[in-house]
């Protein structure tokens, strides 16, 4: 089958594949697959998906679909605004694989560049909100509000109320998402006008500033009343408005949340963009999501790392503060870059111009006799009019989108991109022929006086040359896929092809407002239809929701669907969720968020679900059994033969099967979960379907379901009680063209071939390493799935060298470590994917075998057991230049294998002290003198 792109996507050549098959004693790729995937579920490729297109044809089709979207002049606002991404940022970050192909910064020493940028993001949010600490991103503003609600519930233990108050002047999508999230936790929502509320019976309250109708108020008095009653306050605020108006901290709030989208990140029909959560010092250990902190390396140099929550869900499981795993790193990086490039004065200028446009607009409407709802506003004004619908319709006819707040109110928001011509066109809708120049509307009493963005990072990079070099300098500190393979098991770090990435920059996709009328989004609708169809074909499910914007959110949405299904059958007591002990940490965390009780099922020595234990647990909880969450192939990297039986046991007891689809890359075109018994799965598009990891997000976690669960998929976030889980109907819609392109380019055969080669490659690596490191689990015919776990514990026992030492030593060899200690402590999980060439895999194998030989030197006593290249890894360039006091040579430390001479990476810091960082939590930018 000829497929031009397939040959680009698959790493090994035909000849390489033959020689890999030889090494693993298989005659054909088919033989590998039939020995790996249990016969009972080997269905053959029955996907009704077209064959692959050429790159040129795929791009042309994507461009056509983008063109089918109509970009009207947008005044909708409601949390999403037009913005100008600086081209230096677009070219050097968004369109640069050095940034977008990086992984989440768990291996901090090789992630200092993006960690520094995330610290800049945190500092920027702290400055803008006035809070003491900020996290490094959440998924979107409404889910950030939900995380804040849960955080406040835990933080405010003294207050026994289970009511959460929301000011009525809050965005609809925020209220909807809070409904979805509050219900399973037994939290009761009260929506009320906060100015007339005495805060008597609630544990926390959410206010929005500016309000959904644009009104800006000083919230100080309301917040003080709340505080008097022991109620915590959360303010959802607008980052650009914060450059002009008083901060939530100055008004006394406890938590600030919001979205950084309008700092240079396109609306993208709903995302992705980085939301944030910032709070006071006293709550710093309760912050959900990832928090970047400053620690030090073993030489005492400042170095950054993820604090506290590192692998939080894996450690705390059902007691985790949140299920957020993949967040929005790349978008936080982009927003921080926007802040750095403009600086305080630049941002203030942008904000003032926006406010001036709104002020002029308001004055013009007012002069023409329209009544304004509020005299204090930033960028959004609302008018009272009995002709709201007529005006809305006639605006739309002239290519202008407004927001119909209700029957009698019309809103309009301006932004950085709004031109004079657009304002004139808008006024024409109201039969006003001239824009009235007016004073700024905001009164002095609400204006901000405090300084912000005073750290030098926000004033040093305003020239394009300096900015370009700063971004390059940071990029050079990190290892991403453009340097070497990243064989992270369970994360599927495959090729993110340029042709797949290209469409996200097309304006037809990137500039669409998420609440634009449907007839303007026909290109997107077609793309979603194509993608939903293909994902149904891939999985064997009947329906797909593209809404969840990470795997964790898909888990939550899928479990809610299961819960609603049970309720629709009159089963109100089914709340037990069985989870095998080897599950990913998001599984138990999501189950708890969905109001379920987690019961752990054991795994046997071979890594399979212990069927006896499963049966016992099912029997014990039969009437209350809601679901099982299983990963397939298992997190142990094997296709369990009994999967069909597992599904049957659960179904017979009236339960539902949630299959974690993170390992779908081992199944596409070979087997389908919907056919072997699963009811619902999330599909991590940032793993199997080529969305890049972005250094820790964005991602997309659509869910597929069998038909009986389809009525319970997430609904429209603008409709109350719709079970929506994201602010936008299609989540982070603007990255869906990446997965769509992936499917178009590979097609039916190419996707199957990718799965097959991923399995061949994993078995090739397992075979090449088996004599140096034992392979922990294999299937019944001795094969691994698309990843393999190597056991470091026996070597550690002999040598004292741990999996972490190996991970750090791999940095000296120019590699990112495989997944460390998941799902089994003391192991490394390797997943090469189909897109790594045999040459690159061989380089990795050579490095691992060389490390094995180094460990032998420790065991034999040739190398000291504490002072050796493994324990001292990684080694920096700076160290090499100084006095060399190690009992081994520079060559042994830095150039242990020949191939490094031509392509050497130097980590910027030595091993980082995790404990120091958590004890001395410091999450803002460091003194300039400390940068190295
Ligand atoms: C990656 C992963 C998840 C979580 O997905 P996110 O997109 O990071 O939320 C869940 N389960 C497994 C097995 C995974 O590998």
pLDDT in tens, 388-406: 999 999 999 999 999 999 9
Contact indicator for 514, 728 with CB cutoff of 8 Å: yes
Which token pair is 153? 């519930």
Averaged pLDDT of the chain: 96
Ligand 1 pocket test, candidate residues 105, 272, 312, 490, most atoms within 8 A of CB: 490
DSSP string across 601-668: E-B-TTSSB-HHHHHHHHHHHGGGEEEEEEESS-TTS---TTHHHHHHHHHHTT-EEEEEGGGGGGTT
CA of 552 to the centre of ligand 1 (A): 6
Band (98; pLDDT cuts 50, 70, 90) = very high
Q: Rounded CA gap, 555 and 588, in Å?
A: 10
Backbone φ and ψ for 680, nearest 5 degrees, come out as -155, 145
Average pLDDT of the residues in 560-576: 97
Instruction: Please state the separation of Cα 273 from the chain's center in Å.
Output: 10
Q: Rounded CA gap, 610 and 627, in Å?
A: 17
CA of 326 to the centre of ligand 1 (A): 7
Average pLDDT of the residues in 664-681: 97
Ligand 1 neighbour 732 (Cβ under 6 A): no
Confidence at residue 915, expressed as pLDDT on a 0 to 100 scale: 82
Contact indicator for 278, 126 with CB cutoff of 8 Å: yes
Tokens 């032998």 correspond to 856
CA of 727 to the centre of ligand 1 (A): 21
Instruction: Please state the separation of Cα 40 from the chain's center in Å.
Output: 35
Q: Per-residue pLDDT for 118 more than 60?
A: yes
Q: How would you write 425-486 as a 3-class SS string?
A: HHHHHCCCCCCCCCCCCCCHHHECCCCCCCCHHHCCCCCHHHHHHHHHHHHHHCCCCCCCCC
Instruction: Please state the separation of Cα 865 from the chain's center in Å.
Output: 40
Digit-coded pLDDT (tens) for 180-198: 999 999 999 999 999 999 9
Q: Per-residue pLDDT for 311 more than 60?
A: no
Segment among 138-147, 242-251, 762-771, 919-928 with least mean pLDDT: 919-928
Nearest CA to ligand 1 atom 15: 490
Ligand 1 pocket test, candidate residues 329, 551, 698, most atoms within 8 A of CB: 551
Average pLDDT of the residues in 743-752: 98
Digit-coded pLDDT (tens) for 610-626: 999 999 999 999 899 99
Confidence at residue 208, expressed as pLDDT on a 0 to 100 scale: 98
Contact indicator for 539, 781 with CB cutoff of 8 Å: no
Atom of ligand 1 minimally distant from the CA of 586: 10
Q: What is the DSSP letter of 289?
A: S
Q: Rounded CA gap, 46 and 672, in Å?
A: 9
Average pLDDT of the residues in 828-833: 98
Q: Per-residue pLDDT for 629 more than 60?
A: yes
Q: For residue 853, what are the contacts with CB-CB under 8 A and spacing of at least 6?
A: none
Confidence at residue 926, expressed as pLDDT on a 0 to 100 scale: 81
Q: For residue 751, what are the contacts with CB-CB under 8 A and spacing of at least 6?
A: 47, 49, 538, 668, 669, 743
Confidence at residue 2, expressed as pLDDT on a 0 to 100 scale: 63
Contact indicator for 487, 768 with CB cutoff of 8 Å: no
Average pLDDT of the residues in 289-307: 93
Q: Per-residue pLDDT for 911 more than 70?
A: yes
Ligand 1 neighbour 834 (Cβ under 6 A): no
Band (15; pLDDT cuts 50, 70, 90) = very high
Band (804; pLDDT cuts 50, 70, 90) = very high
């Amino acid at each position: 089958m000829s497929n031009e792109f397939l040959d680009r996507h698959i790493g090994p050549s035909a000849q390489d594949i033959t020689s890999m098959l030889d090494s693993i004693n298989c005659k054909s790729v088919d033989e590998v697959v039939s020995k790996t995937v249990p016969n009972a579920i080997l269905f053959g490729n029955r996907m009704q998906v077209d064959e692959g297109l050429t790159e040129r044809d795929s791009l042309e089709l994507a461009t056509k679909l983008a063109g089918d979207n109509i970009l009207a002049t947008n005044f909708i606002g409601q949390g999403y605004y037009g913005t100008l991404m600086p081209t230096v940022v677009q070219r050097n970050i968004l369109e640069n694989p050095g940034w977008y192909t990086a992984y989440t910064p768990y291996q901090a020493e090789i992630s200092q560049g993006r960690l520094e940028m995330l610290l800049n993001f945190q500092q920027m949010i702290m400055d803008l909100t006035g809070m003491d600490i900020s996290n490094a991103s959440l998924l979107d503003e409404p889910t950030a509000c939900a995380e804040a609600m849960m955080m406040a519930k835990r933080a405010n233990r003294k207050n026994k109320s289970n009511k959460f108050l929301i000011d009525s002047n809050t965005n609809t999508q925020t209220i909807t998402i809070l409904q979805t999230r509050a219900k399973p936790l037994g939290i009761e929502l009260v929506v009320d006008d906060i100015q007339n509320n005495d805060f008597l019976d609630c544990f926390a309250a959410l206010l929005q500033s500016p309000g959904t109708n644009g009104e800006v108020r000083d919230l100080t008095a309301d917040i003080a009343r709340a505080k008097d009653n022991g109620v915590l306050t959360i303010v959802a605020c607008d980052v650009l408005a914060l450059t002009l108006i008083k901060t939530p901290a100055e008004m006394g709030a406890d938590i600030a949340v919001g979205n950084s989208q309008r700092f240079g990140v396109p609306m993208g029909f709903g995302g992705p963009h980085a939301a944030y959560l910032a709070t006071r010092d006293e709550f710093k250990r309760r912050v959900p999501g990832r928090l970047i902190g400053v620690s030090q390396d073993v030489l005492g140099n400042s170095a950054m790392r993820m604090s506290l929550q590192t692998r939080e869900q894996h450690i705390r499981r059902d007691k985790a503060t949140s299920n957020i795993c993949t967040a929005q790193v790349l978008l936080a990086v982009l927003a921080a870059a926007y802040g750095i490039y403009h600086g305080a004065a630049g941002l203030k200028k942008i904000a003032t111009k926006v406010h001036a446009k709104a002020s002029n607009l308001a004055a013009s409407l007012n002069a023409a006799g329209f009544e304004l709802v509020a005299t204090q506003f930033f960028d959004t004004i609302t008018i009272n009019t009995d002709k709201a619908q007529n005006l809305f319709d006639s605006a739309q006819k002239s290519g202008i989108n407004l927001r119909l707040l209700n029957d009698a109110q019309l809103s309009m928001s301006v932004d950085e991109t709004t031109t004079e011509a657009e304002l004139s066109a808008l006024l024409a809708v109201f039969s006003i022929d001239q824009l009235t120049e007016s004073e700024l509307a905001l009164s002095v009493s609400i204006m901000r006086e405090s300084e912000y963005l005073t750290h030098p990072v926000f004033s040093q990079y305003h020239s394009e040359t300096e900015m370009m070099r700063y971004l390059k300098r940071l990029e050079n500190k990190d290892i991403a896929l453009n340097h070497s393979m990243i064989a992270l098991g369970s994360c599927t770090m495959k090729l993110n092809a340029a042709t797949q990435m290209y469409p996200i920059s097309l304006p037809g996709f990137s500039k669409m407002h998420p609440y634009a009328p449907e007839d303007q989004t026909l290109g997107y609708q077609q793309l979603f239809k194509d993608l939903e169809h293909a994902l149904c074909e891939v999985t064997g499910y009947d329906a797909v929701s593209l809404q969840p914007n990470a795997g964790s959110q898909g888990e939550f949405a899928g479990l809610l669907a299961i819960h609603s299904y049970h309720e629709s059958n009159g089963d109100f007591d089914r709340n037990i969720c069985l989870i095998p002990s080897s599950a990913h940490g998001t599984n138990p965390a999501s189950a708890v968020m969905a109001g379920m009780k987690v019961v752990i099922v054991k795994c046997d020595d071979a890594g399979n679900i212990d069927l006896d234990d499963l049966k016992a647990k099912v029997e014990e909880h039969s009437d209350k059994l809601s679901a099982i969450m299983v990963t397939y192939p298992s997190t142990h990297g094997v296709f369990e033969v009994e999967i069909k039986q597992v599904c049957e046991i659960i179904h017979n007891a009236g339960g539902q099967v949630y299959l974690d689809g993170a390992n779908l890359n081992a199944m596409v075109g070979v087997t389908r979960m919907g056919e072997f018994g699963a009811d619902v799965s999330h599909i991590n598009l940032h793993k199997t379907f080529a969305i890049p990891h972005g250094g820790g997000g964005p991602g997309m976690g659509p869910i597929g379901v069998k038909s009986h669960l389809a009525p319970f998929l997430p609904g429209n976030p603008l409709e109350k009680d719709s079970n929506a889980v994201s602010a936008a109907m299609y989540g982070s819609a603007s990255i869906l063209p990446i997965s769509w392109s992936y499917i178009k380019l590979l097609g039916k055969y190419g996707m199957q071939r990718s799965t097959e080669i991923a399995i061949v490659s994993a078995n090739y690596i397992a075979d090449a390493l088996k004599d140096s490191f034992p392979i922990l689990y294999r299937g019944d015919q001795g094969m691994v799935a698309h990843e393999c776990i190597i056991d470091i514990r026996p070597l550690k026992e002999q040598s004292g060298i741990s999996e972490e030492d190996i991970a750090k030593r791999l940095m000296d060899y120019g590699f990112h470590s495989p997944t460390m200690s998941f799902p089994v402590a003391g192991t490394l999980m390797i997943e090469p994917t189909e897109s790594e060439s045999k040459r690159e895999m061989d380089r990795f194998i050579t490095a691992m075998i060389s490390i094995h030989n180094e460990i032998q030197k420790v065991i034999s006593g040739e190398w000291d057991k504490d002072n050796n290249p493994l324990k001292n890894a990684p080694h920096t360039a700076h160290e090499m230049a100084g006095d060399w006091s190690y009992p081994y040579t520079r060559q042994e430390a830095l150039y242990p294998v020949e191939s490094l001479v031509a392509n050497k990476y130097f980590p910027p810091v030595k091993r980082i002290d995790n404990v120091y960082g958590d004890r001395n939590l410091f999450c803002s930018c460091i003194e300039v003198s400390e940068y190295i």
